[in-house]
Homo-oligomer: A and B are copies of this chain.
Amino acid sequence: MAGLRAKQKADKTRRILESATTLFREQGYDSARIEDIAEMAEVSVGTLYNYYQNKGDILVATVAMEVTEVLEAGTRIVANPPLNVAEALRTLIEQYYDHSLFYLSKEMWRTAMAISIQQPETPLSRRYTELDAQLCAQVVQLVQTLQTRGVVHASIDVQVMGELFFNNLNMMFMEFCKVDAMPIEELKARVNAQHEPIAALISTVKIV
C-alpha cells in the first residue's frame, strides 16, 4: 500500500498545524512551547521539525490559509464590484479586514509579519510575500475593472493607483495589529477616511 505513508504524513502535518494554532491562540505565540505543540499533535519534537523548518513556519502556514481564503472571496467582489470607486474599495477591503481575525489573533499576525520581514528567504516567508503580492494584484485588478466600466478616469495608471491603495491598507492593518485596544471598526473608518478623498479624485462621477 503506497498510500499509507502519504496518508500518515498528511495527517501529521494537519495535526501539528491544528495543535499549534490552538496553542498560539490560547496562550500566545511565545508562550506556546514546541514541546507542548508536539505533545498535543502526538508526535515527538524531532518529528515536528521534519514537517516544519521552525516555529515561525507553522504560524506562517496558518497565515497562508487565511490569506488564500481571503483572496478567493475577493475574486468574487472584483468580478462584480459596486460601480462607485469609494464603495468598491470599501467592500473589498472590509472583506479583507473582517476575515483577518478568523484564524489568527492580532498577536499571531504581528509575529507572522515580523517573521516575513526578518527572514524573507525562508520558503514560507516567500509564500507570505507572494500572497501579499496576490492581494496587491487583486486591488489593482479592482481598479482596473472600475476603469474598464468607466467609473475611474481613463488617464489613471491603475497599477500605480492599486499599489498605493494596497500599501496603505496594508500599513494601516499593521498599525491595527500593533494596538490591541483598537477595534476593527476603527481601522475600517480610518482607511475609508483616507481612501474616500482619493477615490473622489480619480472618479469620473463627481460628487457635488
Show the binding face of A for B, using Cβ within 8 Å: 110-111, 113-115, 117-118, 120, 129, 156-157, 160-161, 163-164, 167-168, 170-172, 174, 177-179, 193-194, 197-198, 201-202
Contact = CB atoms under 8 A, between A and B. Distances in A.
Contacts of A168: 163-164, 167-168
A115 B111 CA distance: 9
B178 A129 contact: yes
Nearest to A168: B167
A160 B110 contact: no
A165 to B, nearest CB: 9
A167 B168 CA distance: 6
- Within the oligomer, what is the number of copies of this chain? 2
Contact of A164 (B114, B164, B174, B178): B164
Contacts of A115: 114
A111 B118 CA distance: 5
User: Which A-B residue pairs are the 6 nearest by beta carbons?
Assistant: A114-B114, A114-B118, A167-B171, A120-B178, A167-B168, A114-B117
Contacts of A170: 171
Given A167-B167, A167-B168, A168-B167, A193 B160 contact: yes
A56 B194 CA distance: 33
A125 to B, nearest CB: 9
Contact of A202 (B157, B163, B178, B201): B201
Nearest to A163: B194
A178 B117 contact: yes
Contacts of A179: 120
A111 B120 CA distance: 11
Given A114-B118, A163-B194, A164-B168, 9 more contacts: A110-B118, A110-B120, A111-B118, A113-B114, A120-B178, A129-B178, A161-B197, A167-B167, A167-B168
A189 to B, nearest CB: 13
Nearest to A113: B117
A70 to B, nearest CB: 18
